[in-house]
Amino acid sequence: MPLPELPAFLTRWPDGEVVLTGTRVTLYHFVFHYSQGESAEMLGLRYPHVPLATIHKSIAFYLENKRDVDLYVAEYQAVLDQLRANGPTLNMEALRERLRSRAAALAG
């Protein structure tokens, strides 16, 4: 996923994922919430362990590299979509039945 050279407040993990340095906050999720209209202050409330200065720098990085970051986010989303499509699904009715059976066994 092509991104320009990352500044010190962003780190690329060995698997290629980009996070805000010193956190597990991914650039993907950060940009997603920012793109949904969250302000720097709202992002600060969502990620209270991230300094507000880092949030502002991350927003500036996004805006200065919007095309490349949007491409990174789109590729990341495509991988997530593929994992969801090929991954196991949760059968909610079977789960409810197991919970009912367990509750009945505990009650009886």
Tell me: the pLDDT tens digits for 23-59? 999 999 999 999 999 999 999 999 999 999 999 999 9
Q: Which of 2-16, 32-46, 74-88, 90-104 has the highest mean pLDDT?
A: 32-46
Q: How confident is the model at residue 1 (pLDDT cuts 50, 70, 90)?
A: low
Q: Is the pLDDT of residue 94 over 90?
A: no
Cα–Cα distances in angstroms (integers) from residue 55 to residues 62, 77, 97, in the given order: 11, 22, 45
- Residue 47 gets the label, from left (phi > 0), alpha (psi -120 to 50) or beta, of beta
CATH fold label, 10-107: Arc Repressor Mutant, subunit A (1.10.10)
Q: Look at residue 32 and give its three-state secondary structure.
A: helix
For the entire predicted model, the pTM comes to 0.75
Domain boundaries along the sequence of the chain: 10-107
